[in-house]
Amino acid sequence: MHVVVVESPAKAKTINKYLGPNYKVLASYGHIRDLPSKDGSVRPDEDFAMDWEIDARSAKQVKEIADAMKGADGLYLATDPDREGEAIAWHVREVLEKKKLLKGKEVKRVVFNEITKSAIVEAFNQPRELDNELVDAYMARRALDYLVGFNLSPVLWRKLPGSRSAGRVQSVALRLLCERETDIEAFKPQEYWSVHGTFDTGSGIMVDTNLTFLDSEKLGKMSLTCEADALRAQKAIESGPFSVAKIEKKKTRRNPSPPFTTSTLQQDASRKLHFSAKKTMQVAQRLYEGVNIGGETVGLITYMRTDGVTMAGEAVSACRSLIGKNYGEAYLPATPRVYKTKAKNAQEAHEAIRPTDVFRKPKDMTGHLDADQMKLYDLIWKRTISCQMEPMVLDQVAVDVAQAERTVVMRATGSIIAFDGFYRVYHESREEGAAKDDDQRILPDMTQGQAMALSKVSPEQHFTQPPPRFSEASLVKRLEELGIGRPSTYASIISVCKTAIM
């Protein structure tokens, strides 16, 4: 009999079914040890020696694991495939060694990116040793957390009673929020004007335009700074006849986004589903650990704490097969799409977040998932399939309606989707403050030199806006751009910042 240690009881139950009666799978319920919150737990002068203690919450789990090891032949450490998972495995081994329960017994580390029978069996057929470099990275992080937080937190408690703690990552995130608030308070709005014109093509079809040239000079956003400027422009527009001076047509291609990482999943779930980062990770955890389908617990997505954008070869092949069968060869690129991460300090230790089986479509999950699980699974499934599809092709048109000598130019723009490509499956979410697309603004047929009758001129007053406050999505994006935190920490960072602000 072998003992297998995982982190969560839900995962333990699922894996036990796959491994059979010769294995006893137990949960550690996360970390079993931590640094005592007292002075001297980390001693830099002693080569950063560290003291660890088992907290009261974990004592029961440690006893259960220790009792099981007394009659076991070996130990498999099957915690999550990241730095924290490696650290938990190391702590379990260290505790059992101190209890002299590992003498003469084989201790192996197994990792898997998805909780499916094939992935579990393959992982146990290819065990490895503990990765000491990952453990050292964890130790360095905990030492920094302690040395910074232990000295800084008492100051915070004195200044902000009720605050919990300060740390090297959430403190930086809080600074970003405070600096943005300072920028908003210091912002001084500036007035500017735009001028819009509506023209009749001669057949009763109206075309909306924006003023782009005045007195033969190109206008910028802030060129018309007051009402007098706008009225002068209006008068110039009303003074003379217009005709079509220039027609530009071009095709553009819009490529699909890569499959989800932790940060992009949190951003898209925030914008499209209105999930908090914490809720996104909680729902994703349940999809990863598995749901009951036909009497069997099945993991529906791969590991959800990742900064990698690559997918396993068999997953890419499955996507391409599904695209060809369900959408037709026109939607299937000649070769698989390959993605590279743009995030700073990305470790790319794991695959992107994807369904464990793309042929398990969202509609097939009705009755197996609750509403939130269904929404998130649908989002992950669509993003995964779309990332291997052909680009969307747009026919873009720009028409300049001008006076003689182009002293005043009004521009109309529009585009139509010539081929929907990946857009048939997945629509990109728009970032806060981003301009709206003109994908469906269709312009009528016009010819160069065609006379255009001015119907209406509309000056419009605007004021510049301060930078927006961070949403959870935009804060996660900014943290990733700056290389602050890791995929597993974004949700907890935001939760701590919310507590500090409230």
Q: How far apart are CA 473 and CA 488, in angstroms?
A: 15
Beta strands, E only, 73-151:
74-77, 106-109
| Contact (Cβ atoms closer than 8 angstroms) between residue 224 and residue 233 | yes
Q: How far apart are CA 49 and CA 148, in angstroms?
A: 16
- Spell 198-219 as b/e; 16+ CB within 10 A means b: bbebeeeeebbbebbbbeeeeb
| Amino acid code (one letter) for 91 | H
Q: How far apart are CA 200 and CA 412, in angstroms?
A: 13
Is 472 found in the same domain as 367?
Answer: yes
Q: Given the DSSP bridges, would you call strands 296-298 and 291-293 parallel, antiparallel or unpaired?
A: antiparallel
- What pLDDT shows up at residue 430? 64
Asked, for residue 132, whether it belongs to a domain, the answer is: yes
Is 370 found in the same domain as 270?
Answer: yes
Question: Final residue of a domain: which of 138, 153, 178?
Answer: 138
Is 295 found in the same domain as 370?
Answer: yes
Is 419 found in the same domain as 333?
Answer: no
Asked, for residue 156, whether it belongs to a domain, the answer is: no
Q: Average pLDDT per run of 10 along the chain, which is 502 residues long?
A: 91 87 93 88 92 91 95 94 92 96 95 89 94 93 82 69 66 90 97 97 92 96 97 94 95 95 94 94 94 85 91 94 97 95 64 94 94 97 97 95 94 92 88 51 89 96 96 90 82 78 60
Say which residues have a Cβ less than 8 Å from residue 95's Cβ, sequence separation at least 6: 32, 33, 54, 62, 66
Is 261 found in the same domain as 250?
Answer: no
From 192, 303, 331, 426, the catalytic residue: 303
- Distance from the first to the final alpha carbon of the chain: 51
Is 231 found in the same domain as 174?
Answer: no
Could you tell me which of 462, 460, 461, 452 has the C-alpha nearest to residue 198?
452
Is 495 found in the same domain as 470?
Answer: yes
Predicted TM-score (pTM) of this structure: 0.81
Asked, for residue 54, whether it belongs to a domain, the answer is: yes
Is 348 found in the same domain as 219?
Answer: no
Q: How far apart are CA 317 and CA 358, in angstroms?
A: 10
Asked, for residue 100, whether it belongs to a domain, the answer is: yes
The CATH number of the domain holding residue 379 is: 1.10.290.10
Asked, for residue 248, whether it belongs to a domain, the answer is: yes
Asked, for residue 8, whether it belongs to a domain, the answer is: yes
Q: How far apart are CA 408 and CA 37, in angstroms?
A: 71
Say which residues have a Cβ less than 8 Å from residue 179's Cβ, sequence separation at least 6: none
Examine the residue annotation and report whether 490 is marked as an active-site residue of this protein: no
Is 446 found in the same domain as 383?
Answer: no
- What pLDDT shows up at residue 438? 45
DSSP state of 270: I
DSSP state of 308: -
* Number of structural domains found in the chain: 3
Is 408 found in the same domain as 313?
Answer: no
Please name the residue that has the structure tokens 């232990």.
Answer: 150
The CATH number of the domain holding residue 199 is: 2.70.20.10
Is 266 found in the same domain as 328?
Answer: yes
Long-range contacts from 271-279, C-beta under 8 angstroms, 24+ separation: 271/429, 271/430, 271/431, 271/473, 272/379, 272/429, 273/375, 273/376, 273/379, 275/372, 275/376, 276/472, 276/491, 276/494, 277/472, 277/476, 277/490, 277/491, 277/494, 278/491, 278/492, 278/494, 278/495, 279/372
The CATH number of the domain holding residue 84 is: 3.40.50.140
What is the domain range of residue 100? 2-138
Asked, for residue 428, whether it belongs to a domain, the answer is: no
Is 273 found in the same domain as 245?
Answer: no
Asked, for residue 157, whether it belongs to a domain, the answer is: no
